[in-house]
Amino acid sequence: MFKPSFIKVNISLQDKNWFQTGGPARFFCEPKTIQEFQQALDYTDKQKLPLFILGQGANILVSDDGFDGLVIRPKITTITQEKEKDAVLVTAGAGTTMHDLIEYCLAHNVIGLEEFSGIPGTVGGSVYINLHYFNFLLAQFLVSAQIINKHTGRIKIVNNDWFAFGYNYSTLHQQNNYLLTATFKLKQACDIKTAYAKGRRQEIIRHRTARYPSTHTCGSFFRNFYENEITQEINQKKIIFVAYYLDKIGVKGQLQHGGAVVSHQHANMIVNTNNATTTDIITVAKEMQNLVKKQFGMIPQPECQLIGFKNNPLR
């Protein structure tokens, strides 16, 4: 089959993810239109290639061997708005960064999404994972979306229920459909309320900068435990937060291999400090699993997506 000209060959992924590690993609493209997205999916389907949809690369770890298939990084970045009584419906393309979407909203006196300020990611990746920060979930704002089927290229509109949102989960995880655009129901605000939202945005960013590393990391490497996974209680209470156990075993700022080290700011975040390889990061992560297993009888499981690995490199 003829390869569309916008699909490139042997493209580095190291500069396209926050860890700044990993090998190249066999094929790579950045579709700017829905039609290009359809062509890329058609090429993938006919060539029977593995497929990965990339956003800003903030929650992934790419194998040192790279990805032996097609990586699609959508560049559909249009933003539109429509008034609905006291609300505003804002529609954004999957390739729009959350930063740009929040900036657009505040510039138009539209508030709500500033709760996710300072979190890296695109609209596509954020809907995929049901972006969350403290008590806020992106699912609380999403009302509908435009999706495309992986095999047929057909496009349809779905509502919030279709996504079956959960913690770090949406139906998109089944990888049969991909997001094209998402529509969020937000509030129209006066100048004073918008000014307050802008101030809150800055405070959230300041708070995140103080608590978490902001570069060369995937954020939280391991997901929190489910209650049924917890083998013991502490003060008659099940503690689901994996960072609690990692703090107890003393890995913060201490556990290191090569250029990969557990952040001194947060025990569940690994940072590439000095030209680390993906193998360095995996070595640190596996030792974190071993230490929690040894002391608490539980094995943390990754929240960070592992891309291009032929076998699971962790426990």
> Given the structure tokens 């503690």, which residue do they identify?
239
* 134 band by pLDDT with thresholds 50, 70 and 90: confident
Determine the pLDDT at residue 233: 82
d(C-alpha 221, C-alpha 285), whole Å: 8
Q: H or E element: which one contains 137?
A: strand 136-137
Quick one: angle between helices 191-211 and 98-107, nearest 10? 150
Give pLDDT, residue 224.
93
Task: Say what the pTM is.
Answer: 0.94
Task: Tell me which residue of 135, 124, 136, 134 sits closest to 163, measured CA to CA.
Answer: 124
Name the burial class of residue 191, with classes exposed (0-12), middle (13-18) and buried (19+) by CB atoms within 10 angstroms of its CB: exposed
pLDDT, tens digit, 9 for 90 and up, residues 164-191: 999 889 999 999 999 999 999 999 999 9
Percent helix / strand / coil, the chain, rounded to 5: 30, 25, 40
Q: What is the pLDDT of residues 193-242, one digit of tens each?
A: 999 999 999 999 999 999 899 899 999 999 999 999 998 788 888 999 99
Check residue 236 and give left, alpha or beta (phi > 0: left; psi -120 to 50: alpha).
left
So what's the pLDDT on residue 315? 94
Give the DSSP letter of residue 226.
P
pLDDT value at residue 214: 85
Does residue 18 sit in helix, strand or coil? coil
Task: Write the DSSP assignment of 262-304 as a string of letters.
Answer: E-SS-TT-EEE-SS--HHHHHHHHHHHHHHHHHHHS----BSS
d(CA 308, CA 52): 9
Q: Say if residue 1's pLDDT is above 80.
A: no
Q: Phi first, then psi: give them for residue 48, nearest 5 degrees.
A: 55, 50
Following DSSP, what letter does each residue of 201-217 receive, concatenated?
HHHHHHHHHHHS--SSS
Hey, what domains does the chain have and what are their CATH numbers?
Answer: 8-72 (3.30.43.10), 79-211 (3.30.465.10), 227-307 (3.90.78.10)
| Contact predicate 240/224, CB 8 Å | yes
Q: What are phi and psi of 101, to 5 degrees?
A: -65, -45
Neighbours of 45 (CB within 10 A): 15
